[in-house]
Structure 1
């Protein structure tokens, strides 16, 4: 049992690596935010969506949702969307709902879907007293500083621990003519040493479905 727990912590992209990375990333983002708050005391120095972004950047760096453009673009565009909805829609309840809905649409069209962006949209749609007093910059400027610091920490930490960020797909190899077995899939996943945003079972089902489709085409 102890060996299994140790494997989960330190094995293929185990939680220990992600935890240490998040510690470093949030600390760097907080430090950058505090430096900004020294010059602009009324502005927040650390925004809550950074915690969710850190989980993606450091725990699943190969995920499409955790890449630099989704992290930065998704959060910033969502915050802008939420602020715009707040300015146009009366009432916090309706503004909050429309803000998140619109942010999903904007992120999808901009190809930067990032779940923490929903929280940034809520922050904008339910604008704080600081935003009311100092304008949109009271949210956008601290958020941009936090995200830039988190992205820098994510790039450094993932690179130093052997996981490219932005994620680089493995180079294509000649496909074998034999049908694969699940043990081959397990071996490739171990070789890649990445946590993918899809389950092993779904990958297996996808590969087998592609094989069946190719085989059907060859029979025609």
Structure 2
């Protein structure tokens, strides 16, 4: 007669049995994710030509220089760190849907309004930062104005305890100036039609 092996107490628990039962699924899922990542990583990245790199360099220099000049001489703050990320989009990948005027202006303003509203309601606690970024992303998706620098705008607004002036300057005014510079530069200098669409 074979004696039953006595299991330690924790091995009898429901949680242990559940985790033990899910481990094969976990290993299988990890293998699937790993193969998907390696498969995606095997695709060759898109590289710009040297001419396009030079044009992106000149355009972004022009756009940020204009913002800086206007900030110094107008007395209004027209420049903020997220506008540097906007310059990357509008000058390096102007064909991207996220670089179109609707997204640049609309997405930036939605993010600014979101963060200022949350700061007014809840202050600048750590959880408000997360809430501002997540809410801004969701609102940009719902309005079809997704613009990645909008996440940075929402975060910057909360960390700096922004007031309603933040929406007008630097965000709205800075976005308008960058879009204007992009239209002039891309159509007259680089020969790339911009924008692809307004709305």
Instruction: Judge conservation of contact 1:79–1:123 (CA < 8 Å) in 2.
Output: no
Q: Distance in 1 between matches of 2:103 and 2:59?
A: 18
> Deviating runs (4+, > 4 A) in structure 1?
none
Q: Distance in 1 between matches of 2:126 and 2:58?
A: 37
Report the structure number with the largest CA radius of gyration: 2
Instruction: Judge conservation of contact 1:33–1:146 (CA < 8 Å) in 2.
Output: no
Report the equivalent of 2:107: 74
Find out whether 1:24 has 2:62 as its counterpart. Answer: yes
Q: Distance in 2 between matches of 1:21 and 1:158?
A: 8
Distance change in 2, residues 1:75/1:151 (3 Å): same
Q: Distance in 2 between matches of 1:138 and 1:58?
A: 24
Distance change in 2, residues 1:64/1:45 (3 Å): closer
Q: TM-score, normalization: structure 1?
A: 0.63
Find out whether 1:165 has 2:189 as its counterpart. Answer: no
Shift of 1:46: 1.5
Q: TM-score, normalization: structure 2?
A: 0.69
| RMSD across aligned positions (CA) | 1.8
- Aligned equivalent of 1:9, options 24, 47, 50: 50
Q: Distance in 1 between matches of 2:168 and 2:58?
A: 27
Shift of 1:15: 1.1
Distance change in 2, residues 1:9/1:109 (3 Å): same
Equivalenced residue count is: 149
- Aligned equivalent of 1:124, options 150, 157, 162: 157
Structure 1, unmatched stretches of 5+, are 1-6, 169-220
